[in-house]
Amino acid sequence: MIGRQQKLQYTMPLRHFDTAKIYGSEAAVGKALNEAILGRQIEREDIFLTSKLWGSDHHDPVSALKRTLENVGMEYLDMYLVHWPVKLKPWVNYPVPNEDDFENLDFESTWAGMEKCLEMGLCRCIGVSNFSTKKIEWLLDFGSTPPLVNQVEMHPMWRQGKLRETCGDHKIHVSAYSPLGGPGNAWGTTSVVDHPIIQSIALKHKTTSAQVALQWGLSKGSSVIVKSFNQERMKENIGSFDLKLDYEDMVEIEKLEQKKIMRGEFHVNETTSPYKTIQDLWDGEI
């Protein structure tokens, strides 16, 4: 049993792939990875594959993870995350729940199921996503295995200072989703990459706004989960590893106004959701 000892025993460089049941991308990601492994372009050990437990699967994380493993065609995941602190009725296989789709959270039982996944060797690490500081502390109180990762929205305009501090105290890695602010998503914004301060830092270093935003997240010790369908931008994004931001850049970014883009309103309602307001969902951290 790995129990409280679970840790990220990986050496760089790794290729991290982030998927989730609700994205509908597990099969495509798994197919591409298996082709690359069979073609001897990469070894399984060179990949770090993450997927996530959707709200409708809180009843039985072991069965859900087994289905995910079938989808990706792998024997294990590197990381399995609880996607949201939200439990939904078992048939809710869509991203935006209806008002009567919610159940009581009962997270002790969900987390016990996640721990079972770990014990069974179906995944190497377990963690959470979209957890506030308060929910992390609550989970640490009852879980026999602490989460190794909290995957949350994080970029220069949503810096997660308090959450990073708490997670740091408990050796929980903060992984940054939407690290560019999700431009192009219906709910995303171009305000991060278009921000004049970010652009002026990019100009100073003869680089791009995206590289500044990504290197900012890396400088904070986070992994950055950036998405692009464009090969040139993928290369540009990888180039952010080579950028060095100086102290003044970091200070300037610290002064930017904060703006959360993934607010999760679809998990809030006054009747069946345990979260009656957006403040309830994020425990006031919004």
Ligand X SMILES: NC(=O)c1ccc[n+]([C@@H]2O[C@H](COP(=O)([O-])OP(=O)(O)OC[C@H]3O[C@@H](n4cnc5c(N)ncnc54)[C@H](OP(=O)(O)O)[C@@H]3O)[C@@H](O)[C@H]2O)c1
Cβ 41 to ligand X, closest distance in Å?
Answer: 22
Examine residue 129 and tell whether it contacts ligand X (CB under 6 A). Answer: yes
Torsion angle of C-alpha atoms 259, 265, 269, 275, degrees rounded to 10: -60
- Crossing angle of the two packed helices 247-254 and 209-219, in degrees rounded to 10: 90
In angstroms, rounded to a whole number, what is the distance separating the alpha carbons of residues 110 and 106?
7
Residues with active-site annotation: 23
83 annotated binding-site participant: yes
Examine residue 64 and tell whether it contacts ligand X (CB under 6 A). Answer: no
Among 227, 259, 260, 263, interactor with ligand X by CB under 6 A: 227
Examine residue 233 and tell whether it contacts ligand X (CB under 6 A). Answer: yes
Examine residue 230 and tell whether it contacts ligand X (CB under 6 A). Answer: yes
The string of DSSP letters for 23-63 reads: GT-HHHHHHHHHHHHHTTSS-GGGEEEEEEE-GGGTT-HHH
Examine residue 260 and tell whether it contacts ligand X (CB under 6 A). Answer: no
In angstroms, rounded to a whole number, what is the distance separating the alpha carbons of residues 76 and 211?
32
CB atoms within 10 A of CB 159: 18
Examine residue 158 and tell whether it contacts ligand X (CB under 6 A). Answer: no
Query: Terminal CA-to-CA distance of the chain, rounded, Å?
Result: 37
Question: CA gyration radius for the chain?
Answer: 19
Among 46, 60, 137, 236, interactor with ligand X by CB under 6 A: 236
Examine residue 193 and tell whether it contacts ligand X (CB under 6 A). Answer: yes
Cβ 282 to ligand X, closest distance in Å?
Answer: 13
Among 61, 179, 217, 274, interactor with ligand X by CB under 6 A: 179
Which residues are 16's β-sheet partners? 48
Among 54, 102, 131, 177, interactor with ligand X by CB under 6 A: 177
Give the nearest residue (CB) to ligand X: 184
Bind-site residues for substrate: 83
| Interface residues toward ligand X, by CB under 6 A | 18, 83, 129-130, 151, 177-185, 188, 193, 210, 225-230, 233, 236-237, 262
